[in-house]
Structure 1
Amino acid sequence: MLCQHCQQREANVQITKIDNGEMVKLFICDQCAKNAPEVSFVFNPGIIPDFLQSLFSVTTNSKALQEEACPQCGRRLSEITQAGKLGCSGCYDKFQSELEPILRKIHGGGYHVGKIPARKGASLREKMEVKKLKEKLQQLIRNEEFEAAATVRDQIRELEQKLGE
């Protein structure tokens, strides 16, 4: 589509404005967009990396720690904080103490647990609950808390019967 203003270059900017209660869409090129009175913002190409930098900023006093490299990919902690991306799975191991607060900030916890779909959520939640209860049962048996283990065992049976229906 050609620019609706100059009719010379490819239009790659869409401007939507309300004029006298009517919505008007304008398709213009980059050069016309720079001079258009409707465009009142300045795009800063560094805004996304700056945002990631602030999100992944690591507050460490040690310059040496910033320059340590991952043994697998060679990526330095300073590069990770600048780009907002890890190089490989080894980065998690190497920079675990620095990354954990960042992950807590992003995910709200120390690890990612995923999402449960709304349609199949009930049965999936119950299956996860059974799994947790089985782990708890094994721990109770190891600790020789047999009465509590019997209660957990009954809960597991009840949930498994519910899932079987």
Structure 2
Amino acid sequence: MLCQHCQQQEAIMKLFITENGQTREVYLCENCAKKTQEVSFVFNPAIVPEFLQALFGFNSPAKDQPVETTCPKCGISFSRITQAGKLGCSTCYETFETQLEPLLRRVHGGGQNVGKIPARRGAALRNRVEQRKLKEKLQGLIQQEAFEEAAIVRDQIRQLE
């Protein structure tokens, strides 16, 4: 798409401008985006890989490092995945499982998707989730030898069942 201002160069930026409650889209090339007063910064797509690497805690590979493995299906390497921020194919999940798991845990805060529970029909599911949490808590209390608190949690579990 051409720049809507100069009509000569390819647009690289899409702006949403809201005036008097009306929002409009404006497509600008880099030069026009730098000149316009509506933009307080210019997005540089070249910094995205470094930003993602810093966010996920990866450093650029050194020159003397050994050759890293690549996906047998699509040929992408793990360093390329961290630069691009996305995997090449479904086989990448299996190939890079050991490297992806800590990354996904750090990003998502855990290794299991818990999702949302429906408000109307989720009573049974909420009950099972509560039971599972209480059973985990009970195991921890037993390991800590806090038997009085464990008895209370055990009674709560029986009440839910």
Match of 2:65 in 1: 63
**So what's the TM-score if we normalise by structure 1?**
0.52
Question: Considering only CA atoms, is the larger Rg found in Structure 1 or Structure 2?
Answer: 1
Whether 1:85 and 2:86 are equivalent positions in the alignment is yes
Alpha-carbon offset, residue 68 of structure 1: 0.7
Alpha-carbon offset, residue 15 of structure 1: 3.5
Match of 1:104 in 2: 105
Identity percentage over the alignment? 47
Structure 2 Cα separation of the partners of residues 26 and 40 of structure 1: 18
Alpha-carbon offset, residue 126 of structure 1: 1.3
Whether 1:95 and 2:93 are equivalent positions in the alignment is no
Q: 1:83 to 1:155 in 2, by over 3 A?
A: same
- Asked if the contact 2:56–2:107 (Cα under 8 Å) also holds between the matched residues in 1, the reply is no
Match of 2:44 in 1: 44
Moved more, 98-107 or 115-124: 115-124
Q: CA RMSD in A?
A: 4.4
Q: 1:37 to 1:112 in 2, by over 3 A?
A: same
Aligned length: 135
**SS of alignment partner, residue 45 of structure 2:** coil
- Asked if the contact 2:49–2:82 (Cα under 8 Å) also holds between the matched residues in 1, the reply is no
Alpha-carbon offset, residue 27 of structure 1: 6.5
Match of 1:39, as an amino acid?
V
**So what's the TM-score if we normalise by structure 2?**
0.53
Match of 1:138 in 2: none
Structure 1 Cα separation of the partners of residues 114 and 94 of structure 2: 21
- Asked if the contact 1:72–1:90 (Cα under 8 Å) also holds between the matched residues in 2, the reply is yes
Deviations 1:58-94 (A, max 9, x none): 45778336x2112343321122111122234433333
Q: 1:24 to 1:72 in 2, by over 3 A?
A: closer
Deviations 1:79-115 (A, max 9, x none): 2111122234433333233223211210112x13232
**SS of alignment partner, residue 70 of structure 1:** coil
Structure 2 Cα separation of the partners of residues 126 and 133 of structure 1: 11
Match of 1:125 in 2: 126
Please list every run of 5 or more consecutive structure 2 residues that lacks an aligned counterpart in the other structure.
9-13, 136-152
- Asked if the contact 2:17–2:24 (Cα under 8 Å) also holds between the matched residues in 1, the reply is yes
**SS of alignment partner, residue 63 of structure 1:** coil
- Asked if the contact 1:58–1:98 (Cα under 8 Å) also holds between the matched residues in 2, the reply is no
Structure 2 Cα separation of the partners of residues 24 and 57 of structure 1: 41
Please list every run of 5 or more consecutive structure 1 residues that lacks an aligned counterpart in the other structure.
135-150, 161-165
Structure 1 Cα separation of the partners of residues 45 and 101 of structure 2: 29
**SS of alignment partner, residue 38 of structure 2:** coil
Structure 2 Cα separation of the partners of residues 82 and 33 of structure 1: 26
